Amino acid sequence: MFTIGIDYGTNSVRALVVRCKDGAELGTGVVNYPSGTQGVLLDPKNHNLARQNPADHLFGLEKSIKLALAQAKKVKGFDARQVVGLGVDTTGSSPIPVDATNTPLALNKKWSGNLAAHCWLWKDHTSIKEAAEITALAAKIRPHYIAKCGNTYSSEWFWSKILHCRRTAPAVFKAAYSWVELADWIPSVLAGIKDPKAVKRGVCCAGHKALYAADWGGLPDKEFLAQLDPALADLRDRLYEIAHDATASAGTLCAEWSKKLGLPAGIPIAIGEMDVHYGAIGSGVSEGTLVKIIGTSTCDCGVVSADKTVADIPGICGIVKGAILPGYYGLEAGQSAVGDIFKWFVEGVLGDVKLHAILTAEAAKLKPGQSGLLSLDWNNGNRTVLVDPLLTGLTLGTTLYTTKAEMYRALIEATAFGARAIIERFKEYGVPIDRVVCAGGIAEKNPMLMQIYADVTGCTMLVAGSSQACALGSAISAAVLAGAQPDFATAQKKMTRLKKVSYKPKVGNQKIYNQLYALYRQLHDSFGGVNKSADLSRVMKDLLALKVASSR
């Protein structure tokens, strides 16, 4: 028996055919979105805007699955008739305005030229004002709404985006019968669901992005929404009452798509989750094991048994029951930019993509502290633990001799310090972290970065066995749903693995990084507003002293 995981990323969609008994990956197909700039619709006048064309999603759905199947068919023993289920993960929160037939407005000629009618990609930051407004209102009248998401509602999330649409593109808002997260919409397409109210919504997006919790009766109440805008209160009736964890099914494969794809009609479709959440499953997340998906940005996922009590953790993006694994609280944290920062420096500033490899080699020769540099990893704001998009990058300690390799390494170290801040925050609030499993291209390809992460955090860094952990996780969810695996724990055991390589902290490096991290925290707390009477007079001097000491 086989399942297919379909993983919608920022620039492309990937389908992965997986053997249920052992997680073997038989075929994969990747399709780049044809629209916009690498699949993202941009506004040259507004750097904050990032949208996606739902037509790309449909095009990629069909093509990626066909490519994956074509590859799998070359493997002995594979038979498309033995595909028993489909799973989908996507970026999020990436809501789409849809009409009453569950069709995205952007697919209608009338609206296709309007960026507001497209999918509002996770990294769209146009809604900063609205996020602040929602945070302020919740703090005032519904503090429990935001207590589980670090007391701050983000501009990247569902309600901020919809409220921004209402304010800046009222015609689109009016034309939208409902809004559906991409993670819920793709399964609904496969299931042939034509009514937005019939779309099965995942608690993953609902809980993490839309202030949904069974405890308070689902989505935010109408009184709350009406104070933001009466139209939001009206919209609530056209959204959903209940959101589901991965024990539920999103539907079964409809005749139309069965025919298109050459797959058995009626096979179950797993509830959609966000890419990193299924990625966490595909990387072997469990209680005590933190999964870091390191890409353009980073998501850190952990789980805690739903039988336990989890404290509200300040600055953690979300604590949602059932969001990752059924029966567990799903915990999510993250860094707004990681790979994107290196890309910015190497390609944007230095203007030469070839320098990635050269600088990595040069930076690897440097010892911790040797450059005298210290950077903040805030080029795209800070998601965890400050939850503040209005923060920016900083590099300190430059001299007339500072090299680009030193600056490159300082940026890598900055992201490692950001990672440590997250791990420390989890631990402070009683979430156990015994192991860290990293997934994503950077984890596989950059041993220097991985060693720095180990040295900075003091944790051994393991690497997920699959290079397609998100798609694999989706396929695992489909396998459990289809009964090809008895439960998630067994499925993870059978279907996931680790790479042989691992990175252990080096005591000497840890010592220096502890000192650098203390300086990082000084800058972090001062510019981040945690400490409003900071004495920074020693920062540059301490760095110079470390530089002298570690150059010996």
Binders of a copy of itself among 489-528, rule CB under 8 A? 526-528
Stretch that binds a copy of itself, among 73-81, 147-155, 210-218, 401-409 (CB under 8 A): 401-409
What's the CA angle centered on 67, arms 61 and 70, to 5 degrees?
Answer: 135
- 72 touches a copy of itself by CB under 8 A: no
Nearer to a copy of itself among residue 301 and residue 338 (C-beta): 338
Stretch that binds a copy of itself, among 1-9, 306-314, 316-324, 534-542 (CB under 8 A): 534-542
- 337 touches a copy of itself by CB under 8 A: yes
For tokens 């139309």, the residue is 256
Q: Facing residues of 120 across strands? A: 51
Stretch that binds a copy of itself, among 23-31, 64-72, 169-177, 336-344 (CB under 8 A): 336-344
Q: CA 336, CA 147: separation in Å to the nearest integer? A: 21
Q: CA 13, CA 411: separation in Å to the nearest integer? A: 29
Nearer to a copy of itself among residue 390 and residue 489 (C-beta): 390
β-sheet with 41-43: strand ranges across? 41-43, 46-52, 119-120
H or E, element range at 88: strand 83-90
The tokens for 351 are: 């203007």
For tokens 């680790």, the residue is 498
Binders of a copy of itself among 432-491, rule CB under 8 A? none
Size of residue set near a copy of itself by CB under 8 A:
45
- Which phi and psi (to 5°) does residue 249 adopt? -105, 145
Stretch that binds a copy of itself, among 78-86, 111-119, 141-149, 339-347 (CB under 8 A): 339-347
Among 222, 404, 435, 494, contact with a copy of itself (rule: CB under 8 A): 404
Among 104, 318, 322, 372, contact with a copy of itself (rule: CB under 8 A): 372
Binders of a copy of itself among 258-317, rule CB under 8 A? none
Q: Please, are residues 114 and 169 in contact by the beta-carbon 8 Å criterion? A: yes
Among 17, 117, 313, 341, contact with a copy of itself (rule: CB under 8 A): 341
Q: Please, are residues 275 and 8 in contact by the beta-carbon 8 Å criterion? A: yes
Nearer to a copy of itself among residue 286 and residue 336 (C-beta): 336
Q: Please, are residues 487 and 507 in contact by the beta-carbon 8 Å criterion? A: no
Binders of a copy of itself among 205-224, rule CB under 8 A? none
Q: CA 138, CA 135: separation in Å to the nearest integer? A: 5
Could you tell me which of 458, 129, 90 has the C-alpha nearest to residue 273? Answer: 90
Q: Please, are residues 368 and 513 in contact by the beta-carbon 8 Å criterion? A: yes
- 534 touches a copy of itself by CB under 8 A: yes
Q: CA 504, CA 295: separation in Å to the nearest integer? A: 21
- 533 touches a copy of itself by CB under 8 A: yes
Among 109, 215, 351, 500, contact with a copy of itself (rule: CB under 8 A): 351
Residue 97 neighbours by CB under 8 Å, 6+ apart: 104, 105, 106, 116, 117, 165, 172, 173, 175, 176, 178, 179
Q: Please, are residues 29 and 62 in contact by the beta-carbon 8 Å criterion? A: no
Minimum Å gap between C-beta 503 and a copy of itself is 27
- 421 touches a copy of itself by CB under 8 A: no
Nearer to a copy of itself among residue 249 and residue 522 (C-beta): 522
Nearer to a copy of itself among residue 253 and residue 346 (C-beta): 346
Stretch that binds a copy of itself, among 162-170, 205-213, 230-238, 347-355 (CB under 8 A): 347-355
Among 58, 350, 364, 433, contact with a copy of itself (rule: CB under 8 A): 350
- 390 touches a copy of itself by CB under 8 A: yes
- 380 touches a copy of itself by CB under 8 A: yes
For strand 498-503 and strand 461-464, is the pairing parallel, antiparallel, or unpaired?
A: antiparallel
- 395 touches a copy of itself by CB under 8 A: yes
Q: Facing residues of 83 across strands? A: 2
Q: CA 138, CA 143: separation in Å to the nearest integer? A: 5
Which three-class secondary structure state does DSSP give residue 179?
Answer: strand
Nearer to a copy of itself among residue 89 and residue 542 (C-beta): 542
Stretch that binds a copy of itself, among 13-21, 153-161, 170-178, 535-543 (CB under 8 A): 535-543
Which three-class secondary structure state does DSSP give residue 187?
Answer: helix
Among 403, 502, 514, 515, contact with a copy of itself (rule: CB under 8 A): 403
Interface residues with a copy of itself (CB under 8 A)? Answer: 47, 337, 340-341, 343-344, 348-351, 372, 378-380, 390-404, 407, 526-529, 532-537, 539-541, 543-544
